[in-house]
Structure 1
Amino acid sequence: MTDTEKPTRGRPRTMDEAAVLDVAVSAYQRADPADVSVNAICQMASISKPSLYRAFGNEDGLTLASLDRYAERVLGDLFAILQRNQALDPTLDALIDFALNDQRLETGCLFYKMRAGKHRLGPKTRQRVEEIDAAAVHAFETYLKGQQDAGAWASDQPTALIARYLMEQIGLALTQRATQEDLAGIRSSLTLALSVIRKA
C-alpha cells in the first residue's frame, strides 16, 4: 500500500437492489404485504438491515419501490393489451387470458393486495396505490371511449363506471386464482361477468 492509498473501511456496497426488489415482490405476493417484515426480506435476500435502509430509506420506501417495479413489469403488460386498440371482444378475451394464464399472477396481484390493505401501508406507498388505481381506471375508460367514438360499442352507462366494474371483476378473478380455485370455474365466472360489457 502506498502512502496515498487508504484502507477501505466497513463493508463494500455490493447489494443488488434489483435482486432485493425481486425478493420483496415475491414475498409480498405470497402474503399480506403489511405482514412481511423488513427482517424477513433481509433474511430472504441475504442482506443486512442497514444495507436495505441505505438503499430504500425505510419500510415504506421498500414497499413503494417494490410496487413500482411490479407495476412496470406486470401492470404495464396489462395496459399494453388496452393500448392495442383492438375490438372489444378480442380485448376482453386477452384480458381474461392474461389474468388466468400469466404465471406472475399465480399467487395473485400485488397491486390489488396492496390496495385492499393500503390502510396498513406507509404514506408514500398508499399514495402510489391510489395513483396506480386512478391510472388503471383511466386506461380502461380511455379504451372504452375509443370503442364508443369509433361506433364499435355503445352503452347507456358512464364509461368510468364500466371501467371500474371491469377492473374489479379482473381483481376478483386474480384473488380467486391466488386461493387456488379451479381455473375453469374462474374463467367461466369472469367470462359471464364481462358478458354484460359485451352486450352493453
Structure 2
Amino acid sequence: MSDSEKRGRGRPKSLNRDQVIATAMEHYWVDGPANVSINEICKRAGVSKPGLYREFGGEDGLHQAVLENYLDKGLKKLYDVLAVDRPFKDGVEALINLFLESRSVFTSPRGCLLRDMRSCEDHLGPNTCETIERLHSDSMAQYAVWIERAKSRNEIQNIWTDIAVEYVDLQFGNAMLLLKRNEPDDMIVQVMRLAFSVFTPKL
C-alpha cells in the first residue's frame, strides 16, 4: 500500500475549527464559561466529542483557543489604540470609538470575556488559567504604559500608576457591561467621558 493510500484511510477530518471556536465563544458569553459543557458545545457546533478532542485536546484546550481568538479579535485592537502616541483626551475618544465599533465586530457583545473567564478560574483547566493570567497581565501592562506616557506629559494628575491601572481596567469592564445591556451609544460615550474625567480634574 502506498503512503498516499495509507493517509487516505480512516474517517476524513470535517471539523471546522473556526466555527467551533466561534460557537463556544458565543455561548460562553451568553451562559458563562463554566456553565456550558463540552457536550453542549459539540451539540451546538454540530461536531462529535471525539472530533473536538482530537482538534483541541479537550475542554481546557478549547477554552484556550477561545481566549486566543478573543485576543486576536478584541484585545489586540485595544492594545493598538493604547499604543498610539497622542494626547490623553484624544486617546480616550479613540477608546470610546473602539468600544462602540465592537458592536459590529461581535454579533452580540456580552461583556469582557477575559474578565468573565477570570472570575471562574476555579472551574477551568490549568492551561486556561495560565492563559487568562498572561492576557490579564499583558492588558494591565498596556494600561500602565498609556498612563505613564500621559503622566510624563502632565496631561493627567499625578496618581499612582497601579491605582490608575486598576481604575482603567474597571472602566473598560463597565463599558463592556453597557454594551451587554444594549445601552445606546450616547450613554456609553457620556459614561466613559465622565469616568475618565477624574484623571484631568484641573487640566
Matches within 5 A, 1:70-109: 70-103=70-103, 104=106, 106-109=109-112
Cα displacement (A) at 1:130: 1.3
Cα displacement (A) at 1:157: 1.7
| Number of matched pairs | 197
2:54 aligned with 1:54, yes or no?
yes
Cα displacement (A) at 1:161: 1.5
Runs of 4+ in 1 over 6 A off after TM superposition: none
Cα displacement (A) at 1:171: 0.3
TM-score normalised by structure 2 residue count = 0.86
| Deviations 1:94-125 (CA, angstroms, capped at 9, x unpaired) | 11222234122622221121122222222211
In the alignment, the residues of structure 2 paired with residue 118 and residue 191 of structure 1 have an alpha-carbon distance, to the nearest angstrom, of: 32
Identity value in percent:
30
Cα displacement (A) at 1:194: 1.1
Matches within 5 A, 1:161-176: 161-176=163-178
In the alignment, the residues of structure 2 paired with residue 110 and residue 164 of structure 1 have an alpha-carbon distance, to the nearest angstrom, of: 17
Conserved 8 A contact 2:151-2:158 = no
Q: Where does structure 1 lack aligned partners over 5 or more consecutive residues?
A: none
Conserved 8 A contact 1:100-1:174 = no
Cα displacement (A) at 1:146: 1.9
Matches within 5 A, 1:1-200: 5=5, 9-103=9-103, 104=106, 106-149=109-152, 151-199=153-201
Cα displacement (A) at 1:86: 1.5
In the alignment, the residues of structure 1 paired with residue 133 and residue 83 of structure 2 have an alpha-carbon distance, to the nearest angstrom, of: 21
Conserved 8 A contact 1:20-1:45 = yes
Q: Where does structure 2 lack aligned partners over 5 or more consecutive residues?
A: none
**Superposed CA RMSD:** 2.1
In the alignment, the residues of structure 2 paired with residue 160 and residue 7 of structure 1 have an alpha-carbon distance, to the nearest angstrom, of: 55
Conserved 8 A contact 2:60-2:125 = yes
TM-score normalised by structure 1 residue count = 0.88
Structure 1 counterpart of 2:50, one-letter code:
P
